[in-house]
Amino acid sequence: MSGNISEFSAEEKQLIQDHFQDLLASARLSQSPEDQALITKAFNLANGAHDKMRRKSGEPYILHPIAVAKIATTEIGLGTNSIVSALLHDVVEDTDFTVDDIRMQFGEKVANIVDGLTKIAGVFDGQSDLQAENFKKIIMTMSNDLRVIFIKLADRLHNMRTLDSMPPNKQLKISSETLYIYAPLAHRLGLYSIKTELEDLCLKYHHPIEYRRIAEFIKTSESKRFTYINKFSLPITARLNAEKYTYEITGRPKSIYSIWHKMETKKVSLDEIYDLFAIRIIFDPDPNLPEKAQCWAIYSIITDIYAPRPDRLRDWISKPKSNGYEALHTTVMGPGGQWVEVQIRSRRMNEIAERGYAAHWKYKENTTSENELDKWIFEIRKQLEDPKTDAFDFLDEFKLNLFASEITVFTPKGESITLPSKSTVLDFAFEIHSEVGFHAYGAKVNHKLVALNQELNAGDQIEILTSEKQLPDADWVNYVSTAKARNAIKNYFKDQRRNVATDGKVHLEWLLEQCHMQISSNIIRKLSNHYQSKNKDELYYKLGLNKISTDEFRKIMETRSQSKWMKFWSISRSKNNNPTEKFDKSKPLIVDDGTQGYQIATCCNPIPGDDVIGYRLTDNELVIHSTSCPNAIRLNSSDSSNVVKVEWRSHKLMAFLGRLRIKGVYSPDAINEVTKVITNKLDVNLRSINIDCHDGIFEGKIDVYVHNNDFLTELINKLSKIKEVSHVTRDILENKN
Ligand code: MN
């Protein structure tokens, strides 16, 4: 964490004082003399403890805890105890002070928070890479005092804001971790602005060029946006003024990350994204009228002026999201026939939206959402305490639940149940009880008979039909989207699988005895290769399913074994595979035509020019993944010691496989033109072209060999000039082998 040590100059000492005074002044909730004294006491202790210590950037270390404390108070809205804990958050870890010292001086509460933060830091920011295990610990700590997590998020936000001074491999590791865990966590806790900033910062390090391009685009389109927002708001403000509302209207652009994400997932270009901003109306409610009624009154004013899109009404007032978010969203047809999203919030709702759970403390008596959050934490604890759930599964499931938006459905008795959207009948059954899930064979949704994989809509009423004879089917995992249902089904089959595996193990012992052999790693390796299994459990399971004879067993033992890595990591080899020199991780590895010993990951198939990372398999084998590949993000946060930053240099000899998707209006000429453009480009080698035509439209997949992504871009430009072509985009090539 901390860099070198050296005496501070007079200017630096002044800088520290200035930052601290600024913190004292901006701690809105802590202006009483007692609070100010306590914060000053914590600052003095931390300042003394971190004396002469510097951050990687060279600035005094103490500026970091001061900045974290400031985020905690001004951006999350936390109070005195949290400011004190934030100031002290690195003291126990980095200096000689102990938690007991803190307890003596600041009491039990602060000591517990600092202790929690130190424990997380020890496992989380340290050398250890077993992130999933550590994450379990975080959640356990979280249920004791949420402030630990809030301060940890503030800490991470400041580290992300100052990531520039870190070496590139650290930048990738830290930002992957942030994207993997912290941003979803901030989202779940309702800290929208922090979540958004974390995501934007991750994008800045993962895809610097795209990041700059989108940021630039938002900036240059600003004046156009303002003009439009003004035009849109004019009739609304006239009505709101006439009815004496106190309010503000803003038109906030969407985050860079969310725009990028949309471009990636929807395969659209920047100028095809029309909803670059949302209009937000924040009003100070009349205390004599119900808040909810006032929201709907404003909704009614807006829809008097602009026609709403009925399928885009979101009422998070009657039933807030489980992270506490409350607002009314609608999409209306604005001037020039453009759809515009409008969000209506009271001042209180807005504060909750910005600061999430922390803001609830301020409005405690008005909300029921705290119980929702408590329920969520309780569910997570229960899952964690289940010894059958392994940490990685848990983490994936957890993230699944973090991202989901929600629907409310009903039992036959009218009891409401909240589920992630896209939940099925089977999810509902498991939500009621795992026994109901295991024995479900169908359901009546709104009194109509439906199958178990039927997707539910908000407001559905569901009656599950069960039978003792019904048992879970292996396909069921594909029918569910909640972690609860998925875990229950997986565990059911794990138990079953364990029985088969035990069978397989017994069978192997029998085979060895028949052939007078002793178990050895060589035998296991050969069998694993034969059965294509990743580990012993899988091997025993496959042996149990498929009990081979002694003859077959002998034959397998006679084959020469090949590298199991090939199958495990699913790699395609480049033409060269001579050893590369040892990788120096502090510098980006330059890859050009002369580089040997690297392979292109087949999960994401990056080509030169793309943002990539390298993952080291052995000392002289490197796999190159695209930075946004889910596998890369996972490797970066779970095994970052083997990740190196990679930079491409010009490739003129070697060719890489890329894929384009193309769409347009069908005519024989159009198809002719497409093939002509590709085959006429000498530096592009066509591998395959598949085109489907239907209803006067053609859609195609084109695989080409190119030297780097500039060639692809050029090809896209040329193809999009054909008048029948409406869409050409690059696509991820997935090699399922
Ligand atoms: Mn820190």
Tell me the pLDDT band of 367, cut-offs 50, 70 and 90.
very low
**Span of 314-318, 574-578, 598-602 with lowest mean pLDDT:** 574-578
Tell me the pLDDT band of 127, cut-offs 50, 70 and 90.
very low
pLDDT value for 124: 47
Quick one: 44 and 142 in the same domain? yes
In a domain, 665, yes or no: yes
Q: Is the dihedral of CA 538, 540, 544, 549 positive or negative?
A: positive
The answer, yes or no, to whether residue 380 has pLDDT greater than 90, is: no
> 91 alpha carbon to ligand 1 midpoint, in Å?
9
Quick one: 66 and 180 in the same domain? yes
Tell me the pLDDT band of 376, cut-offs 50, 70 and 90.
low
Quick one: 45 and 151 in the same domain? yes
Q: CB 315: neighbour CB atoms within 10 A? A: 17
Quick one: 58 and 129 in the same domain? yes
Checking phi first, is residue 107 left (phi over 0); if not, alpha (psi -120 to 50) or beta? left
Q: What letters, b where the CB count within 10 A reaches 16 and e where it falls short, cover 510-520?
A: ebbeeeeeeee
pLDDT value for 736: 37
Quick one: 67 and 136 in the same domain? yes
pLDDT value for 140: 59
The answer, yes or no, to whether residue 564 has pLDDT greater than 50, is: no
> 323 alpha carbon to ligand 1 midpoint, in Å?
26
Minimal CA–CA distance to 510: which of 481, 478, 543? 543
In a domain, 574, yes or no: no
pLDDT value for 369: 39
Query: What is the total count of domains within the chain?
Result: 4
How many whole angstroms separate alpha carbon 102 and alpha carbon 114? Answer: 8
In a domain, 547, yes or no: yes
> 406 alpha carbon to ligand 1 midpoint, in Å?
34
Instruction: Rank 124-128, 259-263, 525-529 by mean pLDDT and report only the highest.
Output: 259-263
**Span of 187-201, 229-243, 369-383, 605-619 with lowest mean pLDDT:** 369-383
pTM, entire model: 0.60
Quick one: 164 and 275 in the same domain? no
> 105 alpha carbon to ligand 1 midpoint, in Å?
21
Quick one: 151 and 298 in the same domain? no
| pLDDT tens-place string over residues 692-733 | 887 778 888 888 888 888 888 888 888 888 888 888 888 876
Region 255-264 average pLDDT = 88
The answer, yes or no, to whether residue 41 has pLDDT greater than 60, is: yes
> 144 alpha carbon to ligand 1 midpoint, in Å?
20
Minimal CA–CA distance to 700: which of 661, 645, 644, 642? 661
Region 99-109 average pLDDT = 92
Quick one: 155 and 105 in the same domain? yes
Question: Percent of the chain beyond pLDDT 70?
Answer: 83
Strand-strand pairing, 462-466 and 440-445: antiparallel
> 32 alpha carbon to ligand 1 midpoint, in Å?
27
Looking up residue 141, the CATH number of its domain turns out to be 1.10.3210.10
pLDDT value for 567: 32
How does the average pLDDT of the chain come out, rounded?
80
| pLDDT tens-place string over residues 135-177 | 655 665 555 667 888 898 999 999 999 999 888 888 888 888 8
The answer, yes or no, to whether residue 352 has pLDDT greater than 70, is: yes
In a domain, 400, yes or no: no
| pLDDT tens-place string over residues 402-416 | 545 667 788 888 777
Looking up residue 695, the CATH number of its domain turns out to be 3.30.70.260
Please check whether residue 342 is in contact with residue 302, taking contact to mean a CB–CB distance below 8 angstroms. Answer: yes
Quick one: 257 and 168 in the same domain? no
Instruction: Rank 117-131, 233-247, 330-344, 360-374 by mean pLDDT and report only the highest.
Output: 233-247
In a domain, 543, yes or no: yes
> 2 alpha carbon to ligand 1 midpoint, in Å?
9
The answer, yes or no, to whether residue 668 has pLDDT greater than 70, is: yes
Please check whether residue 398 is in contact with residue 384, taking contact to mean a CB–CB distance below 8 angstroms. Answer: no
Tell me the pLDDT band of 383, cut-offs 50, 70 and 90.
low
The answer, yes or no, to whether residue 422 has pLDDT greater than 80, is: yes
Quick one: 138 and 11 in the same domain? yes
Higher pLDDT, 608 or 389: 608
Quick one: 56 and 186 in the same domain? yes
In a domain, 460, yes or no: no
pLDDT value for 319: 78
Instruction: Rank 122-126, 128-132, 180-184, 561-565 by mean pLDDT and report only the highest.
Output: 180-184
In a domain, 184, yes or no: yes
Domain final residue pick, 532, 561, 590: 561
Tell me the pLDDT band of 248, cut-offs 50, 70 and 90.
very high
Region 30-48 average pLDDT = 94
How many whole angstroms separate alpha carbon 291 and alpha carbon 300? Answer: 14
> 399 alpha carbon to ligand 1 midpoint, in Å?
24
pLDDT value for 134: 57
Please check whether residue 46 is in contact with residue 88, taking contact to mean a CB–CB distance below 8 angstroms. Answer: yes
Instruction: Rank 5-9, 62-66, 97-101, 722-726 by mean pLDDT and report only the highest.
Output: 62-66
In a domain, 404, yes or no: no
Strand-strand pairing, 643-648 and 685-694: unpaired
> 60 alpha carbon to ligand 1 midpoint, in Å?
13
> 727 alpha carbon to ligand 1 midpoint, in Å?
47
> 93 alpha carbon to ligand 1 midpoint, in Å?
9
Tally of residues, the chain: 737
> 59 alpha carbon to ligand 1 midpoint, in Å?
14
| pLDDT tens-place string over residues 390-400 | 555 555 555 55
pLDDT value for 690: 83
pLDDT value for 448: 85
Tell me the pLDDT band of 566, cut-offs 50, 70 and 90.
very low
Domain final residue pick, 311, 331, 355: 355
Higher pLDDT, 215 or 734: 215
> 589 alpha carbon to ligand 1 midpoint, in Å?
29
Query: Residues with catalytic annotation?
Result: 93-94
Looking up residue 259, the CATH number of its domain turns out to be 3.30.460.10
How many whole angstroms separate alpha carbon 152 and alpha carbon 130? Answer: 18
Q: What φ, ψ does residue 582 adopt, rounded to 5°?
A: -60, 140
Instruction: Rank 229-238, 246-255, 375-384, 682-691 by mean pLDDT and report only the highest.
Output: 229-238
Domain final residue pick, 159, 191, 223: 191
Higher pLDDT, 505 or 587: 505
The answer, yes or no, to whether residue 425 has pLDDT greater than 80, is: yes
The answer, yes or no, to whether residue 364 has pLDDT greater than 50, is: no
Question: Percent of the chain beyond pLDDT 90?
Answer: 25
How many whole angstroms separate alpha carbon 320 and alpha carbon 291? Answer: 14
Partnered with residue 725 across adjacent β-strands are 664
> 22 alpha carbon to ligand 1 midpoint, in Å?
19
Region 588-599 average pLDDT = 76
Minimal CA–CA distance to 348: which of 369, 368, 332, 326? 326
Range of the domain at 88: 2-191
Quick one: 252 and 146 in the same domain? no
